[in-house]
Structure 1
């Protein structure tokens, strides 16, 4: 693979010298290269070095990990393409627990806090795609990010990416855009060490991937300044230990952006969905999802406030409760960067949040400099539980082709623990990333 990438990056069309013409410029590193009549070869390189620190009452952790994705995409002018991409993660040191579940492998180190970035070598993507102006069809192992990734995403924050073995079709029919996917496997972030059945305790199972029948349906359109989305997600899992995540979710979302004055814009979002059991789920439940957000952008400053509710059904089974779950989402983007709510507590979650972000222009030494601060207040949907609050902050910029990011999260529990893993948690990240 390394030889292929090197050849693809350095190859250039050759021609006979012409006295009246200047020699063609060398191709930019990472740019597509002509390899034949109508064919281009596009190398894919994405490297990320990260230090992550976690501090909790009884454990802590430090992980230094290096992730490299490398591959090639062969394209034809007809719109047909073939993409193959591998992914590998290397850990420098072993002072962290790579798995938040019991598994008999060396990377499971419960004496440390969990940082779910295990060492791993994997086939990340292998897909065939046909793309035209009106439609796109993708078959194979692929990255799927739908809308804001609340329901389906690639979990791009973690070093090992989540991908899907699926067929996906996207098309435009006049003012309406349609997006339909059928997947048979969810390839998780946990990698090869999470894939051997013999390493798991009874009642659990391999977590390298989850098989099942999964359908994602989206339709979008515009009504004046309002963008409308209708969606349906049908998840029918095969693994017995994961059946409770089988669900059907139907809902809609509306977003709009309104100019109030020069360089002043109001952004609004509202969403509602209803989720219930589906397929082989042994729990009979139904619960609501509600979200609303308002943002005021004044030149380079953005103020945001919002509310998100992942509701709970208190009558789910014998007086127990069952909440809305989103097991395919990019969860780090949502409900705080400390990742306390990767699984919604049984009594549900209400997230009240407010934030401020600023983009700095004119800082030549730090192009793209941006900063953000966000505050969250977390409560339950039923039972009047006060879970806690959280402060998040980030600072990012670029040094030539390298993106630098520093992030911080601090979750403070209120009172006794209200769900599994509910504890004071402080996290800090420093990373550098380059991609072509």
Structure 2
């Protein structure tokens, strides 16, 4: 099945590219000529320079990374409801005293390897609430807890495949068949990934979403991540109160050698005091008898369980994260502070705690600055996580 779909996808891309010049060459009674379509095209340039410093127990040296991401994004205008998109990223390390993922080094890891990458390359059809995209593209679902782009890293995670979306009134549905994941290290991660997300907007203050993710990895080394996940999400506001809740169930899929079932729970409650919003939350990535735990391999995991990235893979004993966030805005500076307390789902293990701080300032629509820090303190002896401090200073420019 996978081979058939992959060939169909490639054939569709090739046919659309070959047809595009002749299709754009003339005008129709209802559409635009190639000249008009091209005149509606956009070209955007995005630059992001970032310093990341890491002090991690167990590593002989501290990491220092000064990287620059240069991105160019081109989107054509629409002709007969078809358009094309291309996005290329280049990551340069001006200071490279750090290890990249998978590298044995005396330095801690900073997951920003150098290189040039085609981030997106797609053909899109859009008409009357329906859209279909074929090729390499972003797929971001809900809060990105299960499917995301890892946009914090300099090289983004994008997806190769076919995506269809339909919206009618308050309801929308989103389905993707993905055959390859373009990871943040530019590695190709192949398999069959079916991603379904449906949303219903009750009103402006209350939203529901349901999702199903069937992941079947091709390489045996990734079989442990093959899983079936089904769940739901709710976001609500009651005046100055806010409530977010999510529940999901996960089990093994494909050639995963582990026969397991695990639960995911997230509950948040917050209050807007005017200048400051305070949010308290609980997140559980459950474990099946301490042998294997709920995992989210396609998520933007940096957003969750602490910015020190100590829990990018869920410990087999599971993970409980009790957190408290305060955030606000003062003189144009947006700020947030979060405290996390980590423990296991099975075995009563103390996984430590973390404090995360961030401040951002947007000078205008083109330029912005960010300062961010994470301080993780380890818990019980014998766990894999060690004391870690991280600091980021970032400048962005877009044109």
TM-score range, shorter chain: 0.7 to 0.9
Counterpart check, 1:148 vs 2:143: yes
Structure 1 residue aligned with 2:267: 292
1:226 CA drift (Å) = 2.7
Q: Quick check: 1:248 aligned with 2:189?
A: no
Q: Which residue of 2 aligns with 1:396?
A: 360
- Structure 1 match to 2:27: none
How far apart are the structure 1 equivalents of 2:309 and 2:53? Answer: 13
2:170 and 2:41 map into 1 onto residues whose CA distance is 34
Q: Distance in 2 between matches of 1:404 and 1:132?
A: 38
Are the aligned partners of 1:79 and 1:131 in contact in 2 as well (CA < 8 Å)?
yes
For residues 415 and 329 of structure 1, the distance between their equivalents in structure 2, rounded to whole angstroms, comes to 27
Once residues 417 and 115 of structure 1 are traced to their aligned partners in structure 2, the CA distance between those partners, rounded to angstroms, is: 24
Output one character per residue of 1:53-93: Cα deviation in whole Å (capped at 9) or x when no partner. Answer: 00012322000001111131111264421011111100013
Which residue of structure 1 aligns with residue 327 of structure 2?
Answer: 357
| Shift, 1:377, TM fit | 0.3
CA distance in 1, matches of 2:340, 2:92: 33
Instruction: Please show how residues 154-303 of structure 1 align to structure 2 within 5 Å.
Output: 154-191=149-186, 208-223=187-202, 225-259=205-239, 265-303=240-278
TM-score with structure 1 setting the length: 0.80
Measure, in 1, the Cα distance between the counterparts of 2:228 and 2:387: 33
| 2:110 alignment partner in structure 1 | 115
Equivalent residue, structure 2, for 1:22: none
Residue 77 of structure 2 aligns to a residue in which SS? Answer: strand
Relative to structure 2, which stretch is displaced further, 232-241 or 320-329? Answer: 320-329
Deviation at 1:38, TM superposition (A): 4.1
Contact conserved, 1:65 with 1:92, CA < 8 A, in 2? yes
User: In structure 2, how many angstroms separate the alpha carbons of the residues matched to 1:77 and 1:256?
Assistant: 39
- Contact 1:214 1:236 (8 Å CA) reproduced: yes
Aligned counterparts of 1:407 and 1:395: Cα–Cα separation in 2: 6
Q: Aligned partners of 1:435, 1:143: CA distance in 2, in Å? A: 19
Instruction: Compute the displacement of 1:133 (Å).
Output: 4.0
Q: Tell me if the contact between 2:178 and 2:194 (Cα under 8 Å) persists in the aligned partners.
A: yes
1:194 aligned partner? none
Tell me the distance in 1 between the aligned counterparts of 2:36 and 2:392: 46
Q: What do residues 225-247 of structure 1 show as CA deviations (whole Å, max 9, x unaligned)?
A: 53111110000000111111000
- After superposition, the Cα gap between the structure-2 partners of 1:414 and 1:141, relative to the gap in structure 1 and judged at 3 Å, is same
1:131 is displaced (CA, Å) by 2.1
**C-alpha distance 404-174 of structure 1, shift in aligned 2 (>3 A):** closer
Aligned to 1:48: 48
Identify unmatched segments of 5+ residues in structure 2.
1-32
Per-residue CA deviations over 1:326-382 (Å, capped at 9, x if unaligned) read 11100000010000000000000000000100112xx3xxxx411111000000000
Q: Give CA deviations for 1:5-32 in whole Å, capped at 9, x if unaligned.
A: xxxxxxxxxxxxxxxxxxxxxxxxxxxx
TM-score by length of 2: 0.88
Task: Output the CA distance in 2 between the equivalents of 1:399 and 1:417.
Answer: 46
Whether the 8 Å CA contact 2:349–2:380 is kept in 1: the answer is no
How far apart, in 2, do the equivalents of 1:257 and 1:179 lie? Answer: 24
What's the CA shift for 1:174?
4.4
Task: Give, in whole Å, the separation in 2 of the partners of 1:338 and 1:221.
Answer: 34
- Aligned residue pairs total 362
C-alpha distance in structure 1 between counterparts of 2:141 and 2:262, whole Å: 22
> Shift of the alpha carbon at 1:116?
0.9
- Tell me if 1:324 matches 2:290: no
Equivalent residue in structure 2 for 1:88, among 84, 90, 98: 90
CA contact (8 A) 2:58 2:386 kept: no
- CA distance in 2 between counterparts of 1:408 and 1:35 reads 49
Distance in 2 of aligned mates of 1:239 and 1:215: 17
Which of residues 70, 73, 89 in structure 2 aligns to 1:71?
Answer: 73
Deviations 1:267-308 (A, max 9, x none): 101111000000111110000000000121232321111000
The structure number with the bigger radius of gyration is 1
Residue 132 of structure 1: how far off its partner (Å)? 2.9
2: CA distance, partners of 1:390 / 1:45: 35
SS at match of 1:37: helix
Residues 37 and 76, structure 2, Cα contact 8 Å, conserved in 1: no
Structure 1 residue runs of 4 or more that deviate by more than 6 Å after TM superposition: none
Task: Supply the RMSD in Å over aligned alpha carbons.
Answer: 1.6
